[in-house]
Structures are given as C-alpha cells and as structure tokens.
C-alpha cells in the first residue's frame, strides 16, 4: 500500500551519476539512470514526490531536436534543468558516485538551505 501525499510530503531531487564515467555510452548512462530511478519508489511509498533531472531534461532535449545527452545542446539543458528544479524541490537525495552535476546540485541545495540526504534511510518516512 502506498502512503498518501500529505502536507509533510517533500519533492526530492534524486542526484547522482548519470553521464559521469560513461564516456557517452548510452547503455552505461541508462544503467546510471536505472540506479537513480531505484530510489523513486521508496520515496514515493513514504509519501514524497521523487524527481530526477533527466526525467525533464531528456524530453526537453528531444523536443529541441538534439540527438541525445551527448549532443552539444545538452550543456544548455542538463544542468539548467537541475538548477530550475532546485527552485521547486524541498530536498535532495545524493546517491553515491562521482558526479560533477550532482555535486553542483548539492552545493546549490546547501546554499539555499535545502536539506541534503545521503542515504534513503535518512529521508523522513522512509523505512
């Protein structure tokens, strides 16, 4: 049974490696996205709204005619999407792994006083 969203429900940006360390290999980027998405259900089940920047950025890139996340246009979309999302998100879940973008997300969150969790078990309501 899924928890209902409440006034305590947080929109949580899940941040971690996506393109980092992949050399642009689509299969490796997909694996990284799958890993980010694994955190979505526990957050949702706890009554939160999970968000991943790529869920927004990839369709934006596609609609702009970009060939994918390695297209030169990606630089104008990927990080800016995360920055815009952080204006709306209530917290960040930083998953392990080297990622310049995720590190930037954490830095922005901390500057804005947004909580940063480094493990699912630390997020309120997650068992």
105 inside domain: yes
What confidence tens digit (pLDDT) does each residue in 86-119 have? 999 999 999 999 999 999 999 999 999 999 999 9
Q: Order the strands of the 11-15 sheet from edge to edge.
A: 49-51, 11-15, 91-94, 116-117
On whether the CB atoms of residues 125 and 45 are closer than 8 A, the answer is: no
Query: If we measure between CA atoms, which residue out of 107, 106, 127 comes closest to residue 12?
Result: 106
What confidence tens digit (pLDDT) does each residue in 56-69 have? 999 999 999 999 99
pLDDT of residue 127: 79
1 inside domain: no
Domain enclosing residue 54, as ranges? 11-122
On whether the CB atoms of residues 11 and 48 are closer than 8 A, the answer is: yes
94 inside domain: yes
38 inside domain: yes
Model confidence band, residue 8 (pLDDT cutoffs 50, 70, 90): confident
80 inside domain: yes
Q: What is the pTM of this model?
A: 0.91
3 inside domain: no
CATH number at residue 101: 3.40.50.10400
Q: Which residues contact 88 (CB under 8 A, 6 or more apart)?
A: 11
76 inside domain: yes
Provide the number of structural domains found in the chain. 1
């Amino acid at each position: 049974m899924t928890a209902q969203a409440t006034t305590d429900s947080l929109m949580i940006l899940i941040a971690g490696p996506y393109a980092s360390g992949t050399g642009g290999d689509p299969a490796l980027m997909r694996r990284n996205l799958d890993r980010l998405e694994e955190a979505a259900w526990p957050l949702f089940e706890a009554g939160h709204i999970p968000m991943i920047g790529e869920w927004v950025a990839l369709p934006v890139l596609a609609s702009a005619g970009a060939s994918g996340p390695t297209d030169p246009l990606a630089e104008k979309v990927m990080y800016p999407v995360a920055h815009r999302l952080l204006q709306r998100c209530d917290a960040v879940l930083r998953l392990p792994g080297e990622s310049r973008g995720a590190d930037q997300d954490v830095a922005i969150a901390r500057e804005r006083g947004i909580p940063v969790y480094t493990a699912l078990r630390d997020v309120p309501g997650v068992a």
